[in-house]
Amino acid sequence: MPKTQYYTATSVDGFIADPDNSLEWLFQADSRGEDRFAPFFAEVGAFAMGSTTYEWVLEHEKLLDQPQKWHDYYGDRPSWVFTHRDLPPIPGANITFVSGDVRPVHAAMTEAAGGKNVWLVGGGELVGGFADHGLLDEIILGVAPVTLGAGKPLLPRRLLSDRLRLVGLEQVGQFAYLTYSVAGPARR
């Protein structure tokens, strides 16, 4: 059964980006060359991210100047970027810019994924919108050995233990990988 997954790295103190929206801190941590991402991404059929994440990747990887990098990383997988602004598209990339309710976008992503998983790249507020509507099945966290003190929170929502169940734990280099299954919100 395909899943909608939030696979991300986080600091020990629960931030996915520093106060300047940078991920540079992440690349300083030793992961011993283990590549957990490639097998994960092989099972992904579609993915979504927020505008801040998109802009960071766009700038950090110089994708407007080197659009082939997007294809090197993500192939032709369809992707969605949630934004309220006009953002530059990456030439040749299969990207749809959207805003508003995550539910119809999730339905389109699930269909486009063709029986594979849907990956929610980030940020935390966007992923929270999926969780709010019971559209998040799994959270996979790579906890890096760093504290940031401030920044963009991992998931700015209150999800209690009745919704989260630890289903996997692994050490890779200095990273701890925690996998949680996510139950839908309680019906009232």
Question: In terms of residue numbers, what domain contains 55?
Answer: 4-182
Classify residue 38: in a domain, yes or no.
Answer: yes
- Predicted confidence (pLDDT) at residue 188 exceeds the cutoff of 70: no
> CA-CA distance, 171 to 69, in Å (whole number)?
29
* Residue 131, CA distances (Å) to 30, 128, 144, 171, 182 in order: 31, 5, 23, 26, 8
In sign, the C-alpha dihedral spanning 34, 35, 36, 39 is negative
Reported as a single tens digit per residue, the pLDDT across 44-95 is 999 999 999 999 999 999 999 999 999 999 999 999 999 999 999 999 999 9
Looking at residue 27, what is its pLDDT? Answer: 83
| Domain total in the chain | 1
Note the pTM of the prediction, 2 decimals.
0.94
Classify residue 187: in a domain, yes or no.
Answer: no
> CA-CA distance, 20 to 52, in Å (whole number)?
11
More confident residue, 23 or 169: 169
Looking at residue 20, what is its pLDDT? Answer: 92
Classify residue 59: in a domain, yes or no.
Answer: yes
How large is the average pLDDT for residues 121-150? 96
- Predicted confidence (pLDDT) at residue 180 exceeds the cutoff of 80: yes
- Predicted confidence (pLDDT) at residue 131 exceeds the cutoff of 60: yes
What amino acid occupies position 109?
M
Classify residue 153: in a domain, yes or no.
Answer: yes
Classify residue 160: in a domain, yes or no.
Answer: yes
- Predicted confidence (pLDDT) at residue 30 exceeds the cutoff of 90: no
Mean predicted lDDT score pLDDT of the chain: 94
Looking at residue 184, what is its pLDDT? Answer: 86
Looking at residue 29, what is its pLDDT? Answer: 77
Q: In the chain, pLDDT over 90 holds for what percent of residues?
A: 86
Q: How confident is the model at residue 31 (pLDDT cuts 50, 70, 90)?
A: low
> Which CATH number do you get for residue 82?
3.40.430.10
